[in-house]
Amino acid sequence: MDTGPVKEYLTGLQNRIVAALEDVDGQPFRRDAWDRPQGGGGISRLIEEGKVFERGGVNLSHVIAYCPTSHMNVRCFVATKPGENPVWWFGGGMDLTPYYGFAEDARHFHATCKSALKPFGADLHGRYKAWCDRYFFLKHRNEPRGIGGIFYDDLNDDGEGGFERCFALTRSVGDSFLPAYLPLLERRKDMTYGERERDFQAYRRGRYVEFNLVWDRGTLFGLQSGGRTESILMSLPPLVKWRYDWHPEPGSEEEKLYSEFLVPRDWV
């Protein structure tokens, strides 16, 4: 089993995503390469205080141990023991966390996810969408983090067609991220907003932080295993607000997010 093409693909994917987001924002991403004493290393690409993004990160990790390869949620694990065959599996996916809901955005994002999985089985999208809805859920709040997408883990050759098929599925998911996200970014980045919208954005960002620090397995494993903290936490937003027992005004656009978008729904 040759995992070299996996690293080559993920490195190229990181470069493509960074280049596309730099074109949208107009500001360059910072490049921060790092080495891990135990083996391996990675490249963190980060933008802060850009024209469009307050913070955006595209992280690549190649660690010789049990650790995810990317914060964009496309990853490959290989576990080895002397004298035994490697044990490998893929995982990944993508989800969308809007602050204000737009049905056309949700339909486009989910349709792109469905198209990415279609060549690999008609039932996969339904399974991986439901898995995403379960995973990106804040149990202590009893609410989803966003409007979902697709998520999968522990994907190996058990009924899935072997390493090459699993790698191909993961490439299809990774290659679909920009087609799923860039049209939404271009459509919404120039919309007008005021203090009300910024305040709600900061409040909803708190849910994102709570999920990452309380429930996300990759974040918890990285911190507990002594991983590189700056790279692990690079996805946390720079400005966040929490309020005590806050509820949106009935009939408002903020309330619409909760009632129409932060609910399980078949968008396609």
CA–CA distance, 3 with 228 (Å, rounded to integer): 23
User: How many alpha carbons fall within 13 Å on the CB side of residue 105?
Assistant: 22
3-state secondary structure the chain: CCCHHHHHHHHHHHHHHHHHHHHHHCCCCEEEEEECCCCEEEEEEEEECCCCCCEEEEEEEEECCCCCCECCCEEEEEECCCCCCCEEEEEEEEEECCCCCCHHHHHHHHHHHHHHHHHHCCCHHHHHHHHHHHHCEECCCCEECCCEEEEEEEECCCCCCHHHHHHHHHHHHHHCHHHHHHHHHHHHCCCCCCHHHHHHHHHHHHHHHHHHHHCCHHHHHHHHCCCCHHHHCCCCCCCCCCCCCCCCCCCCHHHHHHHHHCCCCCCC
State the residue for tokens 């049905």: 103
Cβ atoms of 144 and 259 within 8 Å: the answer is no
Q: Take residue 237 and report the two structure tokens written for it.
A: 């937003």
Catalytic residue, from 62, 71, 108, 110: name it. Answer: 71
Active site residue 71: yes
Give me the active site residues, please.
Answer: 71
